[in-house]
Amino acid sequence: MIKRELPATIVYEDDDIIAFVPLKLQAPVHLLIVPKKEIHTINDVSDDDLMVLGKLFLVAKKLAKENGIAETGYRLSINTNEDAGQSVFHLHMHLLGGEKLGLMVSQEE
């Protein structure tokens, strides 16, 4: 359940998904795409959640196109638990783009 406790610029909403601009941008285009159903992490996803997970990706595709980054490229990221950087324990997808993005992790050999 999304509580709307903080002010946000909502860029998409339907019965299952809400997407908004985060408070701290990490790229020129940075959106959070969130299922309204309470799912803490990707580890908590069940077979009943398949539709909403698919919808996350379809909304990401739509928003990438609307923001002019579908052709140049963008990154979708879901962090799971603390070691991966998850700080809000409600499943959400980051859509990042609008510039050449660096590597996500070190490529050291």
65-87 burial code (b ≥16 CB/10 A, e <16): eebebeeeebeeeebeeeeeebe
- Cβ neighbours for 16, distance < 8 A, ≥ 6 positions apart: 35, 36, 37, 51, 52, 55
Chain-centroid distance, C-alpha 71 = 19
Q: For residues 22 and 32, is the Cβ–Cβ distance under 8 A?
A: yes
Catalytic residue set: 92
From CA 74, how far away is CA 72, in angstroms rounded? 7
